[in-house]
């Protein structure tokens, strides 16, 4: 895939900018831009084009996020596919066609990207300065561990160790063997234990429940028993207390029976008898008083009625009088209105007379003419009078302009008549424009010639580089190489066998080294020890025993310990021990030598096997190499080794490309030459036509136009132009071009002057026509006005001379008189109506007054109706009040008489009731009733007391027969009852305490049972446990994933090394040698004691191996870059190319290494596109100075 | 005789918790509380409102060795409600509550006719309800693992009565259920009963052909884990004079389990899955008729996005939780996210490797993982460091009968291996970006 063009349509600081990356065949593009020039923006744009905008775009500070656009042209050379598209910011359908609207499927682009993600692209196909530094550090810090270096370089990683560390940290944050660091899982497990404890606390075990239940049943039984006993005791106590009370009551009962005996004949009156008697007597007295009072009142009312007199006639007309009274104010208002109307009528008549006088001679007949003039006609007259002055002014103005235009037109016609017409410059102008700048064409031709020479040199140089080929350039270009797949298979086979041989050599070397070491060790171990023999042992034991005996003998005296002898004995023992040790060591040595010798034999066998393998591999290698050479021989090439022939192929391809380029450049040169020839011919022809002079008299133009356009004549300034072919000399071509340009300028100036005069003349004629038309229009307007005026004044023509100035005054005066006359007629009508109404009202008043108050009516004058009606109203009111009073008195009299009769009836009824009471009390008169009541009351009191005692006894007996109860009570003595009560009370108190205890137990146990109500607390905790288990499980899973990830990483690193070690290292070695300017020959792998492969650089000077971690910082950086490029190179062998993007990674290198690196990149760019961004001018300078012209393409971004 | 009604339920597992529901802010914690209890209450309410004549429970009233007496007391309270309405109750013990302390020591109230609620476990027991014309034949499990066929001892049917066989059995076996009291449907048919009310299998299913005696698993009344999805409840039989019955299913569950399966093969971006989930959720909530939903999200299919899903599994799970809170209206509980997708990049890398191309370091990671997925013998060395941790984990997790979390589980190891890839890729990418 190649990005041929990057369009920064609306991205960052860019608007509609393009980066053309299509040049080839070396596709190495250096994009230079100082700080703030948009270098990083371009880098981001490239990623965004291929993979879409990131979510957190940073390039939307000028263009809105929704308007961000980056586009480009992407080509897949393998399939010859091209995709031109625009990427917008968004989540879906972000790929658009070049119209910025049509959605484009991303399938094509995805196919080109071959599954490479943004991360992979930026990582694997991007190299930055920081990566390079970190990669160098990785080599130095990683002790040259080949596996890590290979993996990091291949993946574009800086610090692989950081990944390992991060995995370890994450797993430790979840779980470690040590609890002290309190990772997450320990916290969760603590929570788990807490929940388990809570569950135990809230669980209700069956045994607990059953125990509480039994206790409750027992407590219930106890409480029930206490309640029964207590109830019995209380009943007994109540009985005793009743007997105690009943004894005194029975005594009182006997006493009352004796008191009632004398009153047995007295009538027992009902309880309300006395009150009833009092009420009847009071009612009788009150009724008698009322009868007297009412009779007196009847008499008074009769007298009042007799004094009242009423006028019936007045009352009969009362309604009519009131109606007239209501109209008094209206009548008074009417009188005032009549006066005002009369006054106004007088004023109107005076004004009409005054206006008539102002018109002077105008009589009534003329007024009627004016009145008949319609409103439309009057409006027309007014409008016409206003237009009059404007119409006259317009006629005067147009007349003046017409005179002036005539004078100007005459003058310009005269000037044009004397002027000459020049020839047209357009032919020459077109020719000059078509030809263009001669310097550009000449420069292009010169450049094309230079390019042809350079391309030819390049192609020849490439041809010389084709070692083993003796043909010409054309033969080299036309050469058909063996099939690529055949070559690749053969090369892979050779490399594979070579790798095998190398690997076997390495193993032989290691095994030999081990063998030598082991052999040396065996020899060393086999060296004879001075082994003590058996006699020496016997001797040492005898000496020791002797010394021991001596010591025992010597120590018989306990006071003196033989120190010296003891020391000797110790030394002997040590000597004996040493002898033993030597024997043991010898034994071990023998065993070790035996084991090592076995291993030596094994190593020998291995070495023999390896040698056999190597021999077989060498034979295999020779066969493959022969096949390889044969392949090349068929096309006449004497082949080198695989790498040489790969380079050979690249050179051959480059040669083909160079040849094609040479061919294209030759064609370009021919084009440039042809273009110049064509330009000279064009200029010659144009000059020949244009240098001729032509004179035109303006008046003759129209006559000559149809016949001929030119009349040639010689120009004094024109150069002589030969008829023969123009010689293509740069100087002549330039002179010819300059002469044509000068001539063209002169002709243009003349034409412009003449055309200006023509234009002015034409303008003058046009203005004259316009003035004439305006004058005619003004006159026509005046004429039309006059016709309309005459028509308008036709109706009033008889009034005499009527001018537009006098018509306004006349029309206003006539209009005012007409209006005043209309108002006069209306006022007269209104006045007559008012007078008739006033007269009708007076007649009505007089008629009623004659009926009701004839004397008063006769004495009054006509017109005094208001005072008459007031008198009638006053009199009517007085009669109405008298009538109301009499009605009221009649009603009162009737009521008083009725009441008096009712009270008389009541008196009789009360007296009858009193007689009934006498009968009840068995007496004759009302006065005896009080004594009867007194006796009756006495008897009732005694009976009630006796009844009360009886009731109390019945209550105390509680259903027992009174007589039986009396007999039982009388058996007790009062003091013995008290004693018994006290005894029972004590029993009750005791029982109450027992019962309270039992009930408390019941309550407590009941409460406990109630708490065991089947609540869901435990179940809830169980649910919480489930939630916690999920968390624990999740953390454990995460820990497992991290643990496995660490293992997978280690395996992946090793796996990658195994797969790519040979191919990548071979290439990296070459690149490294090139980058270090042959300071090092290449790279080599050695295995350390732990069988780990370590990387070494081979120093050119003495072929010594320098461990990778001992290289200088800069060289380590170069090594990392070499490994990166080699990884990409290997990748390219198996995959389609993806552009490599380099971000200023050469700034650490010195000039020589930077140039070497760029040369490598340039070579690489023959197979894949390489885009290097830099903001260092010296890198650009180095490229321009040291690299071939076609080896790179420079693009400069301007600073904002 | 008028139509009689019998309510058939089973596998109540009272107070058994709902599994794998991790609490999080916004989760409807209150809604799942005491789910099995509330489902039981729903069942009693249904029995009363439907005015059924009899309730039968075909085993596993309680959940195993859970001996919290409050659970039993709760059942007593609920049974008392039923008995107050003069509705008899007949229960057999299943494998889970055969040896439960509660069924052995908790005194249960007797039925209105004085008979015991729980049927005997020594031999097949009977309850004959003369007025209803219904005879129940059943036998409780005497112990947890009953491997013999208990149905063999069931007696002949009683004439002119509706004979209902109450049995806890795995029938001919079912995935995820122990094979207890095995028997064949044909054997049960041969008994000549009118209805077989079975328990043990938690899915509702009918094991008879058209026209045969109904052999019905009513399923459990409340799903307790993600394997027990969909409506859960009981069956109400309507029995006519000819002893023919018609059954109607009634959902009783208070929380419903549901799985959102999504194939990422055609997804363009991660949000496609989230949008699909947002669209799916309201319909499912609607189907659940106001019940809260416990939702598992399963992702499958092969895509380049697979890596993204593994990598951001936690983030996606949080987004799904958030969606459940926002769109669920307090009724949706996100249970878990299971990413079982295939990394298309890895497939491509392996394919390239096999064809001789490819083999970048990142492809090397894919290849190693693929090799380890194929060859399980290499996994042994991971177990050593993990065993230390596993020894400290609660047995309730590692020895859970329903969902054991064991290192020996090959599927688990395979999943962890699949998750290791994005972890590494992420670290490699982030390290390179630095």
Stretch among A434-443, A794-803, A1187-1196, B17-26 having the lowest mean pLDDT: A794-803
Q: Once rounded to an integer, what is the mean pLDDT over residues A991-998?
A: 89
By Cβ distance, the residue of A209, A1034, A1041 closest to B69 is A209
- In angstroms, rounded to a whole number, what is the distance separating the alpha carbons of residues A6 and A815? 90
The CA-based dihedral angle spanning residues A672, A673, A677, A680, taken in that order and rounded to the nearest 10 degrees: 60
Angstrom distances, CA of residue A733 to CA of A675, A679, A721, A740, B337: 12, 8, 13, 11, 82
Q: Give the gap in angstroms from C-alpha A1176 to the nearest C-alpha of chain B.
A: 23
Express each pLDDT in A849-863 by its tens digit. 888 877 777 776 666
**Percent with pLDDT over 70 in chain A:** 91
- In angstroms, rounded to a whole number, what is the distance separating the alpha carbons of residues B237 and B214? 11
Q: Give the gap in angstroms from C-alpha B387 to the nearest C-alpha of chain A.
A: 10
- In angstroms, rounded to a whole number, what is the distance separating the alpha carbons of residues A534 and A536? 5
**pLDDT score of A728:** 47
Kindly state the tokens that stand for B190. Answer: 């041969």
Q: By the CB < 8 Å criterion, does A157 face chain B?
A: yes
**pLDDT score of A725:** 42
Q: Once rounded to an integer, what is the mean pLDDT over residues B131-148?
A: 93
Burial A877-915 (b: 16+ CB within 10 A, else e): eebeeeeeeeeebeebbeebeebbeebeebbeebeeebe
pLDDT at B237 over 80: yes
Angstrom distances, CA of residue A24 to CA of A319, A674, A1138, A1166, A1170: 130, 27, 16, 8, 11
Confidence of residue B110 (pLDDT cuts 50, 70, 90): very high
Interface with chain A: mutation pick from B22, B379, B426, B431, highest number of A CBs within 10 Å: B431
Q: Once rounded to an integer, what is the mean pLDDT over residues A978-994?
A: 88
Q: Whose structure tokens read 């660091």?
A: A181
- In angstroms, rounded to a whole number, what is the distance separating the alpha carbons of residues A971 and A16? 135
Q: By the CB < 8 Å criterion, does A465 face chain B?
A: no
What SS3 state is found at B136? Answer: strand
The DSSP code sequence of B181-206 is SB--HHHHHHTT-SEEEEES--S-EE
What SS3 state is found at A954? Answer: helix
Q: Once rounded to an integer, what is the mean pLDDT over residues A285-312?
A: 81
pLDDT at A1016 over 50: yes
Beta bridge partners of A69: A10, A88
Express each pLDDT in A498-534 by its tens digit. 888 888 888 888 888 888 888 888 887 766 556 677 7
Instruction: For residue B104, give the chain A residue with the closest CA.
Output: A206
By Cβ distance, the residue of A119, A1043, A1049 closest to B386 is A1043
Q: Where does A1012-1140 have alpha helices with state H?
A: 1017-1075, 1113-1134
For residue A102, count other CB atoms closer than 10 A to its CB.
11
Q: Where are the domains of chain B?
A: 4-251, 256-432
Question: Terminus-to-terminus CA distance in chain A, angstroms?
Answer: 31
Interface with chain B: mutation pick from A90, A91, A119, highest number of B CBs within 10 Å: A119
Q: Whose structure tokens read 């055609």?
A: B266
Q: Inter-chain contact B32–A131, Cβ cutoff 8 Å?
A: no
Q: By the CB < 8 Å criterion, does A1018 face chain B?
A: yes
Express each pLDDT in A606-654 by its tens digit. 888 888 888 888 888 888 888 888 888 888 888 888 888 878 888 887 8
For residue A588, count other CB atoms closer than 10 A to its CB.
11
By Cβ distance, the residue of A166, A1047, A1055 closest to B364 is A1055
| DSSP category for residue A795 | G
| DSSP category for residue A295 | H
Instruction: For residue A94, give the chain B residue with the closest CA.
Output: B268
By Cβ distance, the residue of A155, A205, A1044 closest to B428 is A155
Confidence of residue B173 (pLDDT cuts 50, 70, 90): confident
Angstrom distances, CA of residue A817 to CA of A27, A348, A827: 109, 10, 16
Q: Give the gap in angstroms from C-alpha A51 to the nearest C-alpha of chain B.
A: 13
pLDDT at B297 over 90: yes
| DSSP category for residue B228 | S
Q: Once rounded to an integer, what is the mean pLDDT over residues A574-592?
A: 80
Residues A736, A680 contacting (CB under 8 angstroms): yes
- In angstroms, rounded to a whole number, what is the distance separating the alpha carbons of residues B180 and B177? 8
Q: Whose structure tokens read 């000819």?
A: B242
Which residues in chain B touch residue A92, judged by CB atoms under 8 angstroms apart?
268-269
Contacts of A1200 (CB under 8 A, 6+ apart): A13, A36, A37, A38
Kindly state the tokens that stand for A589. Answer: 């040595």
Beta bridge partners of B89: B55
Instruction: For residue B373, give the chain A residue with the closest CA.
Output: A1048
Count of A–B CB contacts within 8 Å? Answer: 224
Q: Inter-chain contact A1023–B18, Cβ cutoff 8 Å?
A: yes
Instruction: Count CA atoms closer than 13 A to A385's CA, side-chain side.
Output: 18
Which residues in chain B touch residue A131, judged by CB atoms under 8 angstroms apart?
432
Q: Whose structure tokens read 């890398």?
A: B349
- Average confidence score pLDDT of chain B: 87
Express each pLDDT in A436-458 by its tens digit. 778 788 888 888 888 888 888 88
Which residues in chain A touch residue B105, judged by CB atoms under 8 angstroms apart?
206, 210
More confidently predicted of A142 and A955: A955
Express each pLDDT in A714-727 by its tens digit. 444 444 444 444 44
Q: Once rounded to an integer, what is the mean pLDDT over residues B128-152?
A: 93
Q: Is the dihedral of CA A142, A147, A148, A149 positive or negative?
A: positive
Class level of CATH domain B4-251: alpha beta
pLDDT at A704 over 80: no
pLDDT at A369 over 70: no
By Cβ distance, the residue of B67, B356, B427 closest to A206 is B67
Q: Inter-chain contact A1013–B71, Cβ cutoff 8 Å?
A: no
Greatest CA separation for chain B: 86
Interface of A with B in 81-120 (CB under 8 A): 91-92, 115, 117, 119-120
Which residues in chain A touch residue B393, judged by CB atoms under 8 angstroms apart?
189, 1032, 1036
Confidence of residue B255 (pLDDT cuts 50, 70, 90): very high
The DSSP code sequence of B45-62 is HHHHHTT-SEEEEES--B
- In angstroms, rounded to a whole number, what is the distance separating the alpha carbons of residues A440 and A422? 33
Q: Residue B14 phi/psi, 5° resolution?
A: -60, 135
pLDDT at A360 over 70: no
Angstrom distances, CA of residue A681 to CA of A435, A629, A685, A725: 10, 60, 6, 8
Interface of A with B in 114-143 (CB under 8 A): 115, 117, 119-120, 122-124, 130-131
Q: Inter-chain contact A1048–B372, Cβ cutoff 8 Å?
A: yes
**pLDDT score of B141:** 94
Stretch among A150-154, A270-274, A626-630, A750-754 having the lowest mean pLDDT: A750-754
Residues B239, B275 contacting (CB under 8 angstroms): no
- In angstroms, rounded to a whole number, what is the distance separating the alpha carbons of residues B133 and A1000? 50
ipTM of the complex in this document: 0.82
Kindly state the tokens that stand for B202. Answer: 């938690």
Confidence of residue A930 (pLDDT cuts 50, 70, 90): confident
pLDDT at B431 over 70: no
Q: Inter-chain contact B23–A1027, Cβ cutoff 8 Å?
A: yes
The DSSP code sequence of A843-899 is HHHHHHHHHH-HHHHHHSPTT-HHHHHHHHHHHHHHHHHHHHHHHHHHHHHHHHHHH
Question: How many residues appear in chain A?
Answer: 1200
Confidence of residue B357 (pLDDT cuts 50, 70, 90): very low
Stretch among A550-564, A571-585, B270-284 having the lowest mean pLDDT: A550-564
**pLDDT score of A368:** 65
pLDDT at A743 over 70: yes
- In angstroms, rounded to a whole number, what is the distance separating the alpha carbons of residues A61 and A47? 19
CA B179 to chain centre: 16
Which residues in chain B touch residue A1037, judged by CB atoms under 8 angstroms apart?
412, 416, 419
Residues B364, A1055 contacting (CB under 8 angstroms): yes
pLDDT at A987 over 60: yes
**Percent with pLDDT over 90 in chain A:** 3
Stretch among A135-149, A950-964, A1166-1180 having the lowest mean pLDDT: A135-149
**pLDDT score of B65:** 66
By Cβ distance, the residue of B67, B106, B369 closest to A1048 is B369
Q: Once rounded to an integer, what is the mean pLDDT over residues A1075-1084?
A: 88
Q: Inter-chain contact B428–A1042, Cβ cutoff 8 Å?
A: no
Q: Give the gap in angstroms from C-alpha B421 to the nearest C-alpha of chain A.
A: 7
Q: Where does A691-716 have alpha helices with state H?
A: 698-704
Q: Inter-chain contact B358–A1013, Cβ cutoff 8 Å?
A: no
By Cβ distance, the residue of A167, A1026, A1042 closest to B21 is A1026
Burial class (CB in 10 A: 0-12, 13-18, 19+), B217: buried
Using alpha carbons, select from A452, A453, A432, A444 the residue that is nearest to residue A675.
A444
pLDDT at B316 over 60: yes
Q: Once rounded to an integer, what is the mean pLDDT over residues B399-410?
A: 81
- In angstroms, rounded to a whole number, what is the distance separating the alpha carbons of residues B418 and B373? 8
**pLDDT score of A561:** 62
Angstrom distances, CA of residue B375 to CA of B378, B379, B418: 6, 8, 14
């Amino acid at each position: 895939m190649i990005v041929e063009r990057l369009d920064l349509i609306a991205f960052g600081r860019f608007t509609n900018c393009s980066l053309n990356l299509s040049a080839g065949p070396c596709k190495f593009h250096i994009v230079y831009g100082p700080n703030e020039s948009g270098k990083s923006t371009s880098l981001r744009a490239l990623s965004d084009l291929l993979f879409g905008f990131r979510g957190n775009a940073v390039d939307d500070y000028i263009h809105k996020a929704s308007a961000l656009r980056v586009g480009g042209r992407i080509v897949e050379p393998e399939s010859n596919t091209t995709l031109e598209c625009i990427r917008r910011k968004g989540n879906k359908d972000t790929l658009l066609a070049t119209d910025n609207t049509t959605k484009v499927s991303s399938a094509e682009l995805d196919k080109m990207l071959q599954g490479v993600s943004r991360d992979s692209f930026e990582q694997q196909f991007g190299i930055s300065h920081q990566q390079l530094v970190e990669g160098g550090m990785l080599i130095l810090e990683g002790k040259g561990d080949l596996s890590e270096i290979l993996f990091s370089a291949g993946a574009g990683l800086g610090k692989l160790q950081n990944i390992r560390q991060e995995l370890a940290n994450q797993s430790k944050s979840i779980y470690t063997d040590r609890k002290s660091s309190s990772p997450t899982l320990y916290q969760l497990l603590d929570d788990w234990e807490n929940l388990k404890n809570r569950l135990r606390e809230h669980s209700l075990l069956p045994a607990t429940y059953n125990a509480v239940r039994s206790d409750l049943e027992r407590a219930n039984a106890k409480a029930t028993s206490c309640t029964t006993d207590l109830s019995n005791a209380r009943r007994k106590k109540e009985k005793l207390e009743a007997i105690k009370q009943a004894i005194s009551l029975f005594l009182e009962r006997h006493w009352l029976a004796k008191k009632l005996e004398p009153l047995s004949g007295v009538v027992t009156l009902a309880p309300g008898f006395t009150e009833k008697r009092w009420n009847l007597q009071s009612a009788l007295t009150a009724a008698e008083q009322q009868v007297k009072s009412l009779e007196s009142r009847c008499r008074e009312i009769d007298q009042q009625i007799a004094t009242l007199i009423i006028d019936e006639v007045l009352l009969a007309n009362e309604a009519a009088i009131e109606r007239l009274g209501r109209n008094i104010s209206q009548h008074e208002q009417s009188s005032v209105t009549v006066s005002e109307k009369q006054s106004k009528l007088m004023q109107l008549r005076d004004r009409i007379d005054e206006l008539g006088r102002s018109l002077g001679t105008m009589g009534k007949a003329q007024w009627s003419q004016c009145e008949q003039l319609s409103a439309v006609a009057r409006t027309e007259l007014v409008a016409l009078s206003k237009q009059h002055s404007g119409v006259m002014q317009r006629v005067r103005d147009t007349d003046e302009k017409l005179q002036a235009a005539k004078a100007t037109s005459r003058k310009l016609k005269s000037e044009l008549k004397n002027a000459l017409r020049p020839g047209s410059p357009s032919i020459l102008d077109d020719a000059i424009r078509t030809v263009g700048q001669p310097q550009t064409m000449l420069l292009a031709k010169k450049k094309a010639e230079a390019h042809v020479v350079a391309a030819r040199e390049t192609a020849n140089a490439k041809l010389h580089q084709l070692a083993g080929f003796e043909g010409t350039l054309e033969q080299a270009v036309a050469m058909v190489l063996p099939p690529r797949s055949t070559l690749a298979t053969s090369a892979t086979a050779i490399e594979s066998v070579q790798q095998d041989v190398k690997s076997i050599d390495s193993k032989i070397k290691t095994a030999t080294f081990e063998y030598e070491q082991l052999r040396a060790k065996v020899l060393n171990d086999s060296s004879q020890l001075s082994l003590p023999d058996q006699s020496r042992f016997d001797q040492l034991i005898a000496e020791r025993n002797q010394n021991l005996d001596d010591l025992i003998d010597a120590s018989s005296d306990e006071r003196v310990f033989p120190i010296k002898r003891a020391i000797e004995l110790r030394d002997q023992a040590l000597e004996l021990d040493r002898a033993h040790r030597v024997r043991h060591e010898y034994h071990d040595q023998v065993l070790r030598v035996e084991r090592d010798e076995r291993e030596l034999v094994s190593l020998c066998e291995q070495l023999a096997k390896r040698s056999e393998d190597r021999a077989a591999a060498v034979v295999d290698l020779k066969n493959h190499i022969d096949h390889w050479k044969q392949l090349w021989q068929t096309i006449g090439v004497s082949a080198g080794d695989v790498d040489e022939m790969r380079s050979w192929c690249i050179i051959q391809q480059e040669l083909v490309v160079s040849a094609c380029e040479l061919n294209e450049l030759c064609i370009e040169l021919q084009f440039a030459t042809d273009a110049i020839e064509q330009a000279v011919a064009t200029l010659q022809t144009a000059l020949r036509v244009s240098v001729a002079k032509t004179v035109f008299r303006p008046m003759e133009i129209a006559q000559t136009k149809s016949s001929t356009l030119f009349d040639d004549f010689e120009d004094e300034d024109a150069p002589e132009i030969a008829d023969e072919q123009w010689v293509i000399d740069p100087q002549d071509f330039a002179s010819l071009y300059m002469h044509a340009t000068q001539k063209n300028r002169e002709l243009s100036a003349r034409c412009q002057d003449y055309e200006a005069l023509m234009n002015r003349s034409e303008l003058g004629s046009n203005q004259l026509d316009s003035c004439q038309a305006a004058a005619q229009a003004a006159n026509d307007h005046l004429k039309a006005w006059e016709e309309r005026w005459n028509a308008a004044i036709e109706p009033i023509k008889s009034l005499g001379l009527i001018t537009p100035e006098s018509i306004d005054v006349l029309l206003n005066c006539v209009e005012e008189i007409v209006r005043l006359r209309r108002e006069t007629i209306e006022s007269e009508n209104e006045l007559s109506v008012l007078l008739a109404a006033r007269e009708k009202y007076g007649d009505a008043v007089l008629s009623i007054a004659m009926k009701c108050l004839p004397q008063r009516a006769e004495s009054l004058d006509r017109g005094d109706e208001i005072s008459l009606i007031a008198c009638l109203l006053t009199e009517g009111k007085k009669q109405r009040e008298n009538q109301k009073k009499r009605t009221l008195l009649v009603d009162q009299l009737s009521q008083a008489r009725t009441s008096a009769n009712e009270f008389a009836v009541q008196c009789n009824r009360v007296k009858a009731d009193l007689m009934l009471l006498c009968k009840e009390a068995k007496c004759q008169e009302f006065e005896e009733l009080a004594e009867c009541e007194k006796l009756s009351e006495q008897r009732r009191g005694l009976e009630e007391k006796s009844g009360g005692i009886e009731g109390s006894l019945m209550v105390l007996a509680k259903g027992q027969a009174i007589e039986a109860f009396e007999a039982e009570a009388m058996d007790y003595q009062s003091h013995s009852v008290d004693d018994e009560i006290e005894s029972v009370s004590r029993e009750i108190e005791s029982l109450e305490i027992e019962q309270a205890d039992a009930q408390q137990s019941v309550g407590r146990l009941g409460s406990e049972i109630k708490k065991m109500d089947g609540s869901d607390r435990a179940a809830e905790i169980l649910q919480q446990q489930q939630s916690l288990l999920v968390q624990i499980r999740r953390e454990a899973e995460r820990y497992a994933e991290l643990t496995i990830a660490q293992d997978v990483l280690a395996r992946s690193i090793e796996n990658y090394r195994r797969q790519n070690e040979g191919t990548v290292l071979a290439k990296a070695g070459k690149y490294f040698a090139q980058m270090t300017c042959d300071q090092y020959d290449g790279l080599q792998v050695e295995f350390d004691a732990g069988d780990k492969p370590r990387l070494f650089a081979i120093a050119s000077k003495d072929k010594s191996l320098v461990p990778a971690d001992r290289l200088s910082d800069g060289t380590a950086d170069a090594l990392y870059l070499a490994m990166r490029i080699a990884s990409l190179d290997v990748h390219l062998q198996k995959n389609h190319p993806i552009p490599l993007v380099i971000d200023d990674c050469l700034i650490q290198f010195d000039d020589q290494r930077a140039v070497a690196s760029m040369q490598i990149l340039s070579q690489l760019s023959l197979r894949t596109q390489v885009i290097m961004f830099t903001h260092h001018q010296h890198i650009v300078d180095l490229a321009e100075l040291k690299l071939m012209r076609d080896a790179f393409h420079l693009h400069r971004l301007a600073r904002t | 005789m008028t139509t009689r009604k019998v309510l058939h339920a089973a596998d109540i597992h009272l107070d058994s918790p709902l599994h794998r529901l991790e609490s999080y802010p916004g989760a409807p914690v209150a809604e799942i509380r005491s789910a099995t209890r509330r489902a039981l209450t729903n069942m009693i309410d249904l029995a009363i409102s439907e005015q059924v004549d009899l309730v039968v429970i075909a085993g596993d009233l309680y959940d195993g060795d859970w001996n919290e007496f409050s659970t039993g007391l709760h059942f007593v309270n609920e049974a008392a409600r039923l008995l107050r309405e003069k509705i008899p109750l007949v229960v057999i013990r299943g494998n889970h509550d055969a040896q439960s302390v509660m069924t052995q020591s908790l005194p249960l109230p007797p039925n209105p006719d004085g008979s015991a609620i729980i049927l005997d476990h020594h031999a097949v027991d009977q309850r004959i309800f003369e007025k209803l014309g219904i005879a129940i034949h059943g036998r409780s499990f005497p112990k947890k693992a009953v491997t013999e066929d208990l149905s063999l001892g069931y007696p002949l049917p009683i004439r002119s009565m509706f004979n209902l066989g109450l049995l806890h059995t795995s029938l001919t076996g079912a995935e995820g259920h122990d094979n207890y009291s095995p028997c064949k449907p044909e054997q049960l048919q041969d008994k000549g009963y009118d209805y077989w009310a079975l328990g043990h299998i938690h899915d509702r299913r009918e094991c008879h052909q058209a026209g045969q005696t109904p052999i019905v698993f009513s399923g459990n009344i409340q799903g307790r884990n993600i394997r027990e999805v969909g409506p859960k409840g009981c069956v109400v039989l309507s029995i006519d004079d000819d002893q023919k019955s018609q059954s109607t299913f009634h959902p009783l569950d208070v929380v419903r389990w549901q799985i959102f399966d999504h194939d990422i093969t055609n997804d363009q971006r991660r949000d496609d899955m989230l949008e699909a989930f947002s669209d799916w959720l309201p319909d499912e909530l609607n189907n659940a008729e106001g019940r809260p939903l416990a939702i598992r999200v399963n992702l499958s299919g092969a895509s380049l996005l697979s890596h993204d899903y593994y990598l951001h599994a936690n983030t996606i799970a949080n987004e799904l939780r958030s969606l459940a809170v926002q769109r669920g209206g307090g009724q949706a509980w996100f249970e878990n996210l299971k990413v079982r997708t295939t990394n298309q990049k890895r497939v491509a890398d392996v394919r390239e490797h096999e064809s001789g191309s490819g083999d970048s370091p990142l492809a090397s990671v894919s290849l190693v993982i693929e090799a380890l997925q194929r060859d399980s013998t290499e996994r042994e060395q991971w177990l050593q460091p993990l065993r230390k941790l596993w020894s400290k984990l609660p047995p309730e997790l590692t020895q859970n009968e329903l969902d054991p979390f064991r290192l020996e589980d090959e599927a688990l190891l395979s999943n962890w291996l699949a998750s290791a890839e994005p972890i590494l890729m992420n670290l490699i990418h982030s390290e390179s970006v630095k």
